[in-house]
Chain A
Amino acid sequence: MTAQPAKSTRSDRRHWGRGAYSGREALLALAFLVPAVILVGLLMYYPMILAFVESLYETSFLNPEPEFIGLQNYRDMLQDGGFWQVVRNSLFWTIGVVLFQNVIGMAVAILFNQDLPFRGLSRTLVLLPWVLPGIVAAILWRFMYDPQLGLINSILISLGLVDKSIPWLAQPSTAMLAVIIAAVWKGFPFSTVIYLAALQIVDEEQLEAAQIDGANAVQRFRYVSIPAMVHIIFLNLLLTTIFTFNYFDMIWVTTKGGPINRTHIFPTTIFQIGFGEFRFGEAAAYGVVAVLLLAGLAVLYILQLRTGDDRI
């Protein structure tokens, strides 16, 4: 998703007049920033404030004129079992996808870091699911899970693992697991690419030294590789957590939050309440809770970048 800028040391910036600029220079510096600041302010911060305001109003399809109701939307939400179901689902979904995506991503990165035939080609091919449009991935997996036509049931039956087709996406007990697997397939390549890059910065000599001292592969990974990569691992965990929490396409296209709300997470719920039922105030209240849930992670992200870069 994002790349983080390379470190530029303070000294090479000092080169430019030690922070003292002529009036024209400073004006130009500001002029360069104006479009970005206006766009980010107008299109992100202002709507964010509007979402808070909106959550204090009630609008419905029958009553499109917003009516101020204070915190009523939040009170209703907290008393509604559906809200807690969404919180539970979101936690389950986010932790499940992030965990598997990163563990598998790391394992594949280690594997593809070995001297193997067609290594370059393999590294490129493995990225395909990530490049595949989200909607196509979702439709494809919906098809894969189809009880009549799906490849997954066909394979399981022909291997003799199950004796009749399982409606993976339609039964409450398996739906969440099914969407998590699909999302991991789509997302692990991103982690693999990042971890492959991270493995390149692990010091070869340290690894050799550890090997001479008798450390086995697991110990070398634990005590040499992981400490070298810890910054990247942490950043990647944060990014994939935020991305997964906000991931809409897969669930909307495969289950629409069903069966019986078993897979409704924050984005699908907000979309459903807002654009399906036109209850903007309630949808906004869900949105505000989503922001609050992510706020801690966002702060961690900023702090982490600060330690990695002296620029900000």
Chain B
Amino acid sequence: MKPRSRQRLRRVVLIALQMLVLIIVLIPFFWMFSVSLKPANEPFAIPARLWPDNPTIENYKTAFQPEFRRYFLNSAIISLATIVISISVGLLAAYSFSRFQIRGFGFLLVAIILAQMFPVATIIIPIFKMVREAGLLNTYFGLIIAYITITLPVSIWMLLGFIGNIPPDLEESAMIDGASRFQAFWKVVVPLARPGIVATAVWIVVVTWQEFMFALAFTQTREMRTVSVGMNDYIGQYGIRYGELMASSVMFSIPIVVVFFILQRQFVAGLTAGATKG
């Protein structure tokens, strides 16, 4: 074969592979959306039809009941509080680790990084008991505490990467101009670390928005359910009404997908910053 037609063949094969990957990735999404638009009797057609004959938004109306709205609100409150706490505590710690070399700091940092390797299933029972004894079971605060165990070590680690890249000279000049160390941190470092803060916040929201195991164990009443547990309840409750289940799945996924698409550049940069420089 001539080199040029070989080149062309290669390109055709690559594009075909690209299409194949995208089809495999996207078909379940397409199906989720398709079933969510099917009228009540249609998902049961065999063989499954790819697109409904009479698309309807009936499932969305049924699924978006007050109960589901409550789940949404709960998930949003818990995610937001977890972000605020993890980021503020994480920023302070990351700054301290990055700027001070004090005996014992290296050990503490390793201890914190090690903590993110702990199996959540192992600590869930002790944390459950601690939260129960504190009377915080079935409260927002109980779940926020649980989520901090997942998010704080990673937040410190991610933020450390960003703060480590900010030249210390900048704070030094601020301090020469009369700022205190804390002012220098707050007015110089924090604004410069913003891309890192955004990337970390996106990671936290991706994790907490969908967290399932803690939420399943720590919430006992309908009013305290998060969306993920509420969705799991739907499976048994309605003898699997797939149309509604898929409609709620779409509604549950959209916020996180939208957040992700808006911030994906920063997020992917944050995710991979260390990996490539390490």
Contact = CB atoms under 8 A, between A and B. Distances in A.
Interface of A: 1-8, 12-13, 15-16, 19, 21, 25-26, 28-30, 32-33, 35-37, 39-40, 43-48, 50-51, 54, 108, 111-112, 114, 116-117, 122, 124-129, 131-136, 139-144, 148-151, 154, 157-158, 185, 189, 193-194, 196-198, 200-201, 231-232, 235-236, 242, 245-246, 248-249, 252-253, 266-267, 270-271, 274-275, 280, 283-284, 287-288, 290-291, 294, 297-298, 301-302, 305, 308-309, 311-312
A49 to B, nearest CB: 8
A50 B129 contact: yes
Contact of A140 (B28, B148, B162, B232): B28
Contacts of A252: 212-213
A15 B261 CA distance: 39
Given A136-B231, A294-B117, A148 B46 contact: yes
B96 A143 contact: no
Interface in B88-134: 89-90, 92-93, 95-102, 105-106, 108-130
B243 to A, nearest CB: 11
Interface of B: 14-15, 17-18, 21-22, 24-29, 31-32, 35, 43-44, 46-48, 89-90, 92-93, 95-102, 105-106, 108-130, 145, 148-149, 152-154, 156-158, 160-162, 164-165, 167-169, 172, 181-182, 199, 203, 206, 209-210, 212-213, 216-217, 227-228, 231-232, 235, 242, 245-246, 249, 252-253, 256-257, 260-261, 264, 268, 270-278
A39 B89 contact: yes
Contact of A149 (B43, B99, B118): B43
A190 to B, nearest CB: 8
A309 to B, nearest CB: 7
Contacts of B264: 124, 127
A280 B172 CA distance: 53
A44 B115 contact: yes
A133 B228 contact: yes
Nearest to A130: B206
Given A29-B100, A30-B102, A36-B152, 9 more contacts: A3-B199, A8-B164, A43-B149, A43-B152, A108-B21, A141-B28, A274-B128, A284-B126, A311-B164
Contacts of B89: 35-36, 39
A45 B182 CA distance: 29
**Interface pairs A-B: 6 shortest CB-CB:** A5-B161, A4-B274, A287-B122, A133-B210, A197-B272, A36-B93
B125 A283 contact: yes
B93 A270 contact: no
A151 B126 contact: no
B126 A253 contact: no
A108 B199 CA distance: 24
Contact of B48 (A2, A131, A154): A154
B22 A143 contact: no
A252 B216 CA distance: 11
Given A1-B154, A298-B117, A135 B232 contact: yes
A186 B158 CA distance: 23
Contacts of A13: 98-99, 101, 168
Nearest to B115: A44
Nearest to B164: A8
21 contacts: A3-B199, A4-B161, A4-B274, A4-B275, A32-B93, A36-B92, A36-B93, A40-B112, A48-B123, A111-B21, A125-B26, A132-B29, A135-B210, A136-B231, A136-B252, A149-B242, A200-B276, A235-B275, A235-B278, A252-B212, A311-B164
A131 B25 contact: no
Contacts of A25: 100, 181
B154 A2 contact: yes
A40 B253 contact: no
A112 B18 contact: yes
A256 to B, nearest CB: 11
B197 to A, nearest CB: 13
A29 B25 contact: no
B270 A3 contact: yes
A33 B212 contact: no
Contacts of A311: 97, 106, 109, 164
Contacts of B172: 15-16
A291 B278 contact: no
B277 A6 contact: yes
B125 A284 contact: yes
B121 A248 contact: yes
